[in-house]
Amino acid sequence: MSENATANAAGISARGLVKHYEAGRVRAVDGLDLEIAGGEFVAICGPSGCGKTTLLNLLAAIDQPDAGTLSVAGVSLTNLSNAEADRHRRSTVGLVFQLHNLLPNLTALENVQVPMLAAGRPLRERSERAWVLIERVGLSDRAHALPNTLSVGERQRVAVARALANEPRILLADEPTGALDSKNGERLLELLDELQRDAKTTLVVVTHDPQVAAQANRVLEMLDGRITSPETAAASGD
C-alpha cells in the first residue's frame, strides 16, 4: 500500500521511524513501521519503557523524529517548523494525558476553551462549544468548578472534552485510565468509544490496561521501540 493512499484525511503512516535520546543510548522508537486507517480505534500496548509515549508524542508533533517518515492526516511530520507543529497540535490532533494536566486556575469550562483560544475561534463559539462538550462528558453541573475540586474521573473527562475542542481528526490518549479506578476507567472508555464512533475520529490509545485494549478495533503490541504484533503486519501489508 502506498504512503499517500494510507495517509488519508485521518490516517497515520510511519516508516522506519526513529527517536533516540541521550545521544542514542536510549532508543525509544527504533525503526518503527505503522499504518492506521482513518476512523480506527487502535490500542498500543507494551511494557513500560517500550516507547509508547514517545510514539504518541511523535504523532502529536510534540517531539520530532530523528529519522524515518511519519505522516499524520496527510501531513508529513518529518521536518515540521515550530509553527507547523503548533498548528498540527492545535487543529489536527487532540491529546488526552495520563494525568489530566488541566490548568489549575481555570474552571472545567475554561479549560475546555484553552485550545480554542489558540485556534482563534470567535468568543461566543468558544464558550458555546465548550458548554456542549462539557455536557457531552456529563459534567454540566461541574462546569464552573476548579480542577482541584473535581474528582480524578471528572478531571479526566474534562481533559477529554478539552482534547475534542478543536474537532480534531485524530484523538491521541496516553494511558487515559491509568489514574482511574475501574469504574471510572470503564466510564471514560465508554465515553471515548462513543465519541470516536460519533465523530468518526481516529483514536489511538496507549495503554497497559487489557480492558481498554479489548475495546479497540485493533491492538498493536510494542516492544523495544517497534510494533511487534501480527496485526500491524496485516494492516501495513508487510
Partner 1 sequence: MEPTGPPLTLLRMIARNLYRRPMRTTLAALGVAVGVVAIVSFSTLVRGLWDAVDATIHINDAELMVFQADVAADLLSVLDEEETRAKLTAIAEVREVIGTLWHILPIEGRPFYLILGLRLEDMPSLRGDLIRGRCPQADDELLLGSIACGALEKDLDDVLHVRGEPYRVVGVFRTDAVFFNGAIVVSLPRLQRLAAREGRVSLFQVHLRRGANPAAVAERIEREHPELVAIADASEYHKVDQGLEIAQDMVWAVSFLAIVIGSIIIANTMWMTVLQRTREIGVLRAVGWPRRRIMGMIVLEAAGVGLIGCPLGWLLGAGLAELTTFLPVSEQFMEPVFSATPFLLALGVAVVLSVLGALLPAWRAGRISPAEALRYE
Chain residues that interact with partner 1, rule: CB under 8 A:
57, 60, 62-63, 82-83, 86-91, 95, 97, 101, 103-107, 109-110, 113-115, 117-119, 123-124, 126-128, 130-131, 140, 143-144, 162, 166
Q: What stretches of 53-183 adopt beta strand conformation (E)?
A: 67-72, 75-76, 93-96, 170-174
Q: Which CB atom, from 118 or from 199, has the smaller least distance to partner 1?
A: 118
Neighbours of 106 (CB within 10 A): 15
CA–centroid distance for 74 within its chain? 17
Q: Closest by alpha carbon to 160, among 183, 135, 181?
A: 135
CB of 197 to partner 1, least distance (A): 24
CB of 224 to partner 1, least distance (A): 20
Pick 168 or 216: Cβ nearer partner 1 = 168
Nearer Cβ to partner 1 (86/238): 86
Strand order in the sheet with 218-223: 93-96, 170-174, 202-207, 41-45, 218-223, 226-227
Residue closer to partner 1, measured from CB, 89 or 169: 89
